[in-house]
Amino acid sequence: MADRILVFYGSYRSDRMGIRLADFIVAGLQARGADAELIDAKAVGLPMLDRMYKEHAPGTAPAAMATLAGKIKAADAFVFVTGEYNWGMQPGLKNLTDHFLEEWFWRPAAIASYSAGRFSGVRSGTAWHGTLSEMGMVVISSTLAVGPISQTLDENAAPIGKPGESLQKAFGRFADDLSWWTEAAKAQRARKAPPY
């Protein structure tokens, strides 16, 4: 059975460059046989966090929130594609993520960052590492850092030039690492129920 991987993207800007990286990752995972799906925070459209999914009485959560909770629970792994805003996280992606907690537990997560500049969003990626760990995910050691994104992926998410070649090369290790942890977590969950 194919690994079910959700790829989260969180920019709300009108001219979104990072969607290129999200699309590249989804296509790359699908080419390797994974059942990968893009979850676009802007398209999901959750409100600013008031109540988490678990704080709603059964059957009363907003439809988009309930649907996404089901997808998260059914997933085997996650990829978070994040831009860097003032050395920090994108608020749209963080807001979407914070609506859930137990739904994330006991699965691996990978981080891919990007920016328009040469730092490739790595400061945001670093911030996400601790947050995802706190939310019960095992964050893999391999990361992708892409910048400048407009010189790495074209408008169709196809790699371009030397930066694109470097991204393609790095993606193999990134995907292998995620696949290994996904298989390990699936096997352990099948062998033994999580402790909480």
Q: What is the pLDDT of residue 132?
A: 98
In a domain, 17, yes or no: yes
In a domain, 107, yes or no: yes
In a domain, 196, yes or no: no
Number of domains in the chain: 1
Q: Is the dihedral of CA 135, 18, 83, 165 positive or negative?
A: positive
Q: What is the pLDDT of residue 85?
A: 87
Can you give the CATH number for the domain in which 16 is found?
3.40.50.360
Residue by residue, DSSP assigns 83-142 as: E-BTTB--HHHHHHHHT-SGGGTT-EEEEEEE-SSTTTTHHHHHHHHHHHHHTT-EEEEE
In a domain, 27, yes or no: yes
Please report, as a single letter, which amino acid is at residue 195. P
Mean pLDDT in each 10-residue stretch from start to end of the chain (196 residues)?
96 94 98 98 96 97 98 98 91 97 97 92 94 97 96 97 97 98 96 91
Q: Which domain holds residue 11?
A: 4-191
Residue by residue, DSSP assigns 25-39 as: HHHHHHHTT-EEEEE
In a domain, 59, yes or no: yes
Q: Is the dihedral of CA 122, 99, 70, 133 positive or negative?
A: positive
Could you tell me the pTM of the whole model? 0.97
Separation of alpha carbons 185 and 182, rounded Å: 5
